[in-house]
Amino acid sequence: MNNIRVTAFRWVPPFAQGLVRDLRVRWALEEAGLPYEQVLIGADEQKSAEYRKLQPFGQVPVFEADGFTLFESGSIVAYVAERSDTLLPRDPQGRARTLTWMFAALNSIEPHVQNLNLIDLFHPDEDWAKQRRPGAEATLRGRLASLSQSLGEKPCLEGASFTAADLLMVSVLRFLRHIPIVAEYPNLAAYKDRGEARPAFQRALAAQLENFEKYKPVAA
């Protein structure tokens, strides 16, 4: 792949900094050793008809390489992984298991994480949110307990090797940084920490955070 471009926001509020989903794509590209150019957008570009042709929902990231474009971070990570020597096993069964865990991160874990985040970060004082929160947390705990049991003492979901599945799963677990729930599962906490300690992750995170510092509103 050549001429890779990834869209990202110029700035987001502090609670979202380090969590915006272009980070997943940056991380995958760093792990794969693929250079990229970032294309920073704001609210005006996000709402524009031109951008909506690339991303129907106005979100980030959009990925472009050699005139080919994709949206949705999970799809982009999968596309990068397919072209990487490190993120996706080459044997058919290992590849299938890794893809399964990638789907699990985005479909079995992330919706319940975001359900709780919606309550905690956007509607904490509303009556409906207070009534809904105990059930949302209980459901999430069930999913985390199952993930913890499946991971066991393995360093990664597929055993010893870090894959795109771990990249996505760690990205999802990081959304819970505002509460100590992951720490209640020591193997998951250690797993997340190992992912965040990877040099490729650190480079990706620094690249994202640099924008937010550079374009920080004066009154922010």
CA angle 40, 57, 205 (to 5 degrees): 40
Domains (ranges, CATH) in the chain?
5-86+200-214 (3.40.30.10), 92-198 (1.20.1050.10)
Q: Is 79 helix (H, G, I), strand (E, B) or coil?
A: helix
Q: Which two tokens stand for residue 68?
A: 């080919």
Q: Tell me the C-alpha to C-alpha distance, in Å, between residue 61 and each of 41, 46, 73, 105.
A: 10, 11, 6, 18
In DSSP notation, 36-63 reads -EEEEE-HHHHHSHHHHHH-TT--S-EE
- The DSSP secondary-structure symbol of 171 reads H
pLDDT by residue for the chain (220 residues), tens digit each? 889 999 999 999 999 999 999 999 999 999 999 999 999 999 999 999 999 999 999 999 999 999 999 999 999 999 999 999 889 999 999 999 999 999 999 999 999 999 999 999 999 999 999 999 999 999 999 999 999 999 999 999 998 999 999 999 999 999 999 999 999 999 999 999 999 999 999 999 999 999 999 999 986 5
- The DSSP secondary-structure symbol of 83 reads T
pTM summary value: 0.96
- Measured in residues, the chain has a length of 220
